[in-house]
């Protein structure tokens, strides 16, 4: 986890210090910190934004000694990890009071896919506020992809995309209800806590970028000037083969890994986020619904010449399609008037007509089953839906599962999408929700009980 150069947070896969035990101290703190050239009174882990990158291997035992030094209750969720949702493992129903500590502990299964995962608080009704103040960190699992020489030989960079809303005095701005309904977006957009940081590439060389959307609502439509992006992994791990893209939409919670080749004339090339319209509150007279502006996220800077060059392999990591489902369910997303958060009437977000309750199991499934879940979105807003504990395969337009492990799927306004998932090992209570975190806080979340 060594950083090469102050401005270039490059991770190299170092020699395996394979003790099998990963121990990390994480302290969630409120602090004055500089992000993107602005000093703000924000939240971070261990005094930094984003938090430290944790790296582990399948089969490792992970122990995270967590301290809540925030002035409010919080907890941790390990987004995308296939570990138990119970006890002191990935249990998002735990609540850690201000000033309290808790040790999270779990085993990564020996069969856990390698990939780019992340951790963030999951305190219902406070998730958007806590994450948008900075609480997010990357959790890398090294796997098969990291053993493919053409991938492993490339320098590696992690890019955590965050946005912050602070006033001129650096105090976080809490959005009003309308902004929360659309999903808050901060004007200060950063990569690894910096505005437009440089990432170095050698002429004719490759870099591998792991990109995490840790923003509470902002979508990033990514394009690197004059460079195709070779997609090698999505949320839950490697693809069967690299895919060439001119641009990739990254919705909240999603991750990608892309390879970039230094194949253009030497110079500087901007990594952009292009405008995207994720819809708005149509029933409220067209609030929101404006495309976001173009933002320069980072700059790829050519420096030096690679002493050799190579092509990407045609094949990466094999993925078996899930078998036909035994159960089909549908989840209708909605927004409506309900009991507001502050007691009065207000807007809520719903799944199958109900707002989240921690005291109600919405969906019961049994182990050793395969299910198809259809998310139906009749609203005028996009909703990126996320499921804890078990990744899924999205069903393509041909009715067949796409060979990629995902844990967030974009359900566009006025559309529907089906995913397939298997419940094979862990029992317990997990959740599914919209990863526009204000929507989650306003009720677009359900509880899933996996029974033995």
Residue 444 Cβ vs Cu ion, minimum distance, rounded to whole Å: 5
Q: Where are the beta strands (DSSP E) in 251-407?
A: 255-261, 268-274, 280-281, 287-288, 295-305, 327-339, 345-351, 363-366, 369-377, 383-387, 392-394
Residue 361 Cβ vs ligand C2O, minimum distance, rounded to whole Å: 16
**Nearer to ligand C2O (CB atom), residue 223 or residue 435:** 435
For residues 233 to 262, the per-residue mask of contacts with ligand C2O, x marking binding by CB under 6 A and - elsewhere, is --------------------x---------
Whole-angstrom distance, CA of residue 382 vs CA of residue 252: 11
Q: Are 288 and 244 in contact (CB under 8 A)?
A: no
**Nearer to Cu ion (CB atom), residue 180 or residue 200:** 180
Whole-angstrom distance, CA of residue 150 vs CA of residue 167: 46
Q: Is 186 in the site for ligand C2O (CB under 6 A)?
A: no
Whole-angstrom distance, CA of residue 78 vs CA of residue 92: 9
433: closest CA among 381, 383, 392, 398?
383
DSSP 75: -
Name the segment binding ligand C2O (CB under 6 A); options: 103-111, 188-196, 264-272, 431-439. 431-439
Q: Is 221 in the site for ligand C2O (CB under 6 A)?
A: no
**What tokens appear for 322 in the block?**
């899930």
Task: Choose, by CB under 6 A, the member of 57, 82, 112, 122 that binds ligand C2O.
Answer: 122
Q: Please identify the residue of the shown chain whose CB is closest to the bound ligand C2O.
A: 79
Q: Is 77 in the site for ligand C2O (CB under 6 A)?
A: yes
* Binding residues for ligand C2O restricted to 379-398, rule: CB under 6 A: 386, 388
**Nearer to Cu ion (CB atom), residue 79 or residue 208:** 79
Alpha-carbon distances of 17 from 12, 22, 60, rounded to whole Å: 13, 10, 12
Residue 337 Cβ vs ligand C2O, minimum distance, rounded to whole Å: 25
* DSSP 3-state percent helix, strand, coil across the chain (nearest 5): 5, 50, 45
Alpha-carbon distances of 220 from 164, 214, 351, 409, rounded to whole Å: 15, 11, 25, 14
User: In the chain, what's the furthest Cα-to-Cα distance?
Assistant: 66
Name the segment binding ligand C2O (CB under 6 A); options: 191-199, 314-322, 358-366, 430-438. 430-438
* Binding residues for ligand C2O restricted to 91-120, rule: CB under 6 A: 120
Which is it for the CA torsion 81, 87, 92, 96, positive or negative? Answer: negative
Task: Choose, by CB under 5 A, the member of 436, 437, 442, 450 that binds Cu ion.
Answer: 436
**Nearer to ligand C2O (CB atom), residue 133 or residue 388:** 388
Residue 406 Cβ vs Cu ion, minimum distance, rounded to whole Å: 12
Whole-angstrom distance, CA of residue 59 vs CA of residue 209: 25
**Nearer to ligand C2O (CB atom), residue 114 or residue 384:** 384
Alpha-carbon distances of 273 from 156, 222, 245, rounded to whole Å: 21, 5, 14
Q: Is 408 in the site for Cu ion (CB under 5 A)?
A: no
Q: Is 434 in the site for Cu ion (CB under 5 A)?
A: yes
The residue count for binding ligand C2O (CB under 6 A) is: 10
Within 10 A of 242 (CB to CB), how many other CB atoms are there?
A: 22
Task: Choose, by CB under 6 A, the member of 57, 79, 223, 278 that binds ligand C2O.
Answer: 79
Residue 122 Cβ vs ligand C2O, minimum distance, rounded to whole Å: 5
Torsion of CA 145, 52, 126, 450, to 10 degrees: 40
Name the segment binding Cu ion (CB under 5 A); options: 136-144, 296-304, 379-387, 411-419. 379-387
Residues lying near Cu ion in the complex (CB under 5 A) are found at: 79, 383, 388, 434, 436, 439
Residues lying near ligand C2O in the complex (CB under 6 A) are found at: 77, 79, 120, 122, 253, 386, 388, 431, 433, 435
């Amino acid at each position: 986890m060594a950083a090469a150069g102050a401005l270039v947070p490059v991770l190299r896969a170092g020699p395996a210090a394979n003790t099998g035990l990963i121990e990390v101290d994480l302290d969630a703190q409120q602090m004055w910190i500089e992000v993107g050239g602005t000093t703000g009174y924000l939240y971070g882990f261990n005094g930094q934004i984003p938090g430290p990158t944790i790296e582990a291997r399948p089969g490792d035992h992970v122990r995270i000694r967590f301290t809540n030094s925030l002035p409010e209750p919080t907890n941790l969720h390990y987004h995308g990890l296939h570990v138990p949702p119970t006890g002191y493992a990935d249990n998002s129903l735990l609540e850690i009071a201000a000033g309290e500590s808790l040790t999270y502990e779990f085993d990564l299964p020996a069969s856990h896919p390698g990939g780019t995962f992340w951790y963030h608080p999951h305190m219902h009704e406070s998730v958007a506020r806590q994450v948008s103040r900075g609480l997010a960190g990357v959790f890398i699992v090294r796997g098969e992809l990291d053993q493919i020489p053409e991938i492993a030989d490339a320098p590696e960079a992690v890019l955590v995309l965050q946005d912050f809303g602070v006033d001129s005095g650096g105090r976080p701005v809490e959005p009003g209800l309308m902004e929360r309904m659309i999903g808050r977006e901060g004007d200060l957009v950063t990569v690894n806590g910096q505005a437009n940081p440089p990432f170095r590439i050698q002429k004719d060389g490759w870099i591998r970028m792991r990109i995490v959307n840790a923003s509470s609502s902002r979508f990033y439509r990514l394009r690197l000037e004059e460079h195709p992006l070779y997609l090698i992994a999505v949320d839950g791990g490697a693809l069967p083969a690299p895919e060439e893209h001119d641009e990739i939409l990254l919705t909240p919670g999603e991750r990608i890994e892309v390879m970039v080749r230094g194949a253009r004339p030497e110079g500087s090339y901007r990594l952009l986020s292009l405008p995207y319209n994720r819809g708005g509150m149509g029933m409220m007279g067209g609030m929101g619904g404006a495309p976001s502006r173009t933002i320069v996220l980072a700059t790829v800077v050519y420096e030096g010449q690679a002493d050799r060059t190579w092509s990407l392999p045609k094949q990466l990591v094999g993925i078996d399609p899930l078998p036909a489902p035994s159960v089909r369910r549908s989840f209708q997303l909605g927004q409506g008037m309900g009991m507001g958060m502050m007691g009065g009437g207000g807007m809520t977000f719903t799944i199958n007509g109900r707002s989240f309750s921690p005291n109600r199991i919405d969906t019961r499934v049994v182990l050793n089953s395969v299910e198809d879940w259809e998310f139906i979105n009749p609203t005028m807003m996009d909703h990126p839906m996320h499921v804890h504990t078990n990744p899924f395969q999205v069903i393509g337009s041909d009715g067949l599962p796409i060979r990629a492990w995902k844990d967030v799927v974009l359900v566009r306004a006025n559309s529907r999408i089906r995913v397939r998932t298997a419940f094979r090992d862990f029992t317990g209570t997990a959740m599914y929700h919209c990863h526009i975190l204000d929507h989650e806080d306003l009720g677009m979340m359900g509880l899933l009980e996996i029974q033995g």
